[in-house]
Structures are given as C-alpha cells and as structure tokens.
Amino acid sequence: MSAIGTARLRIHRGGHYDEFAVPFEEGASILDALLWIRAHRDPSLAIRYSCINANVCKECTIAIDGRVDYTCTTRLVDDRLTTLDPLPGKRQLRDLVTDTVPPREKL
C-alpha cells in the first residue's frame, strides 16, 4: 500500500493566498491535489486542465514555487509548503487561470 502524506499548498487567489492541507497517496500530482480541493474544500477554485493525466493537452501549466511547470506531472511532497501562482506574464483571470487563449480563438 502506498504511503499517505499531507501536502500543504499555498494558492494565489487574486488579492491573497489561501493555504490548504491535502492528504495524498505517494505519486500523486499537484493536479490531483487541486482536484481534491475543488471536490472537498472549495469548489470555486479556478484551475485549467483537460487531459487530466496524460500530459498531452498542456493546459495545466502554472508557476510552482516560481518555476513554470505542468500541475499534472509535478509530484506532491509530504509536509512541504508549495506555492502555486498563475503563469507569469499572462493576465490572471481567476485564481490559477490566466488568459492563455490565442487572440484569434476568442469570442
């Protein structure tokens, strides 16, 4: 059986940060934790993803402790505080969602 840990995520919510403690099984990703938060703590947390797991859609890119990476392939670490920010250089729309839609694909 995989080890159970608790990750701490500090998430940019616009004007402030919210911190969440997330239980996880070994190997779980940041995206797993964000989906857990949406299902169990705060459904209004705005995130972007599509393929969930396969790392083919590339929609889930954010800044993880200041480094741009995919939430679906970055692992959670037990008992460590990780700070999540929206993609730098893009307009923040809500929480971790930035304006990544190409201009020609907008309404």
Partner 1 sequence: MTQIETDVLIVGAGGAGMYAALAAAPAGAGTVLLVDKSLVGRGGATVMAQMTVAAALAEEGPDDWPLHLEDPLAAGRGLCDENLAAILCAGAPERIREMEEWHVGWARHADGRIRQVTAPGHSRPRCCYVDFLNTGPAVAATLRRRIARLDPIRRVSNLCITDLVTASGEVVGAVGLDTAEGAPATVAAKSVVIATGGLTRIFARNSASANLGGDGYALALAAGAELTDLEFVQFFPIGHLAPRLVGMDPIMWDPFRYKLGGRLLNGAGEEFLAAYGSDESAGYSTPRDLLTYAITREVAAGRGSPHGGVHLSFAHVPSASIAAAFGPVVERLAKNGIDLRRMPVEVSPIAHYHMGGIRVDDRMQSRVPGLFAAGEAVGGANGANRLSGNAIPEALVFGERAGHHAAVHAAGRRHGWRQQAAAEAVGQVRAAAGGHAGDTPAIELLGELRALMGEAVGPFRTAAGLAVAIRRLGEMRAALPGLAIAPGAACNPTLGDWFELRASLNAAEAVARAAAARTESRGAHQRDDFPDTDPALASSQTVTMDEGGSITAGFMR
Token pair for 14: 């616009």
Residue 15 in the binding site for partner 1 (CB under 8 A): no
Q: How far is CA 4 from CA 1, 39, 43, 71, 81, in A?
A: 9, 19, 23, 19, 16
What 3 state SS string does 65-100 have?
CCEEEECCCCECCCCCEEEEECCCCCCEEECCEECC
> In the bound complex, what is the minimum distance in angstroms from residue 83's beta carbon to partner 1?
20
**Chain residues 55-84 in contact with partner 1, contact rule CB under 8 A:** 55-59, 72-73, 75
Residues in 32-51 at the binding interface with partner 1, rule: CB under 8 A? 32, 38-39, 43-47, 49-51
From the list 5-13, 20-28, 61-69, 77-85, the region that binds partner 1 by CB under 8 A is 20-28
Residues of the shown chain interacting with partner 1 in the complex, contacts defined by CB under 8 A: 1-2, 25-29, 32, 38-39, 43-47, 49-59, 72-73, 75, 93-95, 97, 99-102, 104-107
